[in-house]
Chain A
Amino acid sequence: MDMVIRAAAIYMFLLILLRLMGKRTLSEVSTFDFVLLLIIGDATQNALIEQDPSLTTAILVILTLVLLDLALSFLKRFTGLESWVEGRPVVLVAYGQPIARHLRASHVSHDDILQAARLTQGLERMNQIKFAVLETNGGISIIPYPHATP
């Protein structure tokens, strides 16, 4: 009973925390972020199983987390929860012009957009980008002008 409640509380806390940290945080996982995730996992482990190393506890905690995730995916499909949990895409560049307010609020720099443009489309300049969109998974999708495609 107690372990299920603890697992549910940790799940909800991490869900809200990662949502509040923003889309870019989830997408751009640097080496340091990876180490940070490991530390978070280690800190979470103690709270989840406390001092009970039994197989039963491990199975119950894992079941709780996976089934909560399943329940959330159902809720996202059948209610308006999806936009709340996943967010909505944000247009960062429209017709070659960066939208400063959206960049600032999303914590995305010009360099991030140009990097995505170089990596995904082989573009060289901002004015070759028709649209840049910050997707709900944190990635930046680039739609180039037709004549700018190499």
Chain B
Amino acid sequence: MRRHLATLAALAVGLAVLGVCVAFAFLRSGS
């Protein structure tokens, strides 16, 4: 159970980081 939560937490962190990358690309490219 706790390990499943750890896996979900890691995936959530990955998604959050990916979101920031996309926002960064938008802001830098001006698109």
Q: Do A and B come from one complex?
A: no
B residues in contact (CB < 8 Å) with A: none
A residues in contact (CB < 8 Å) with B: none
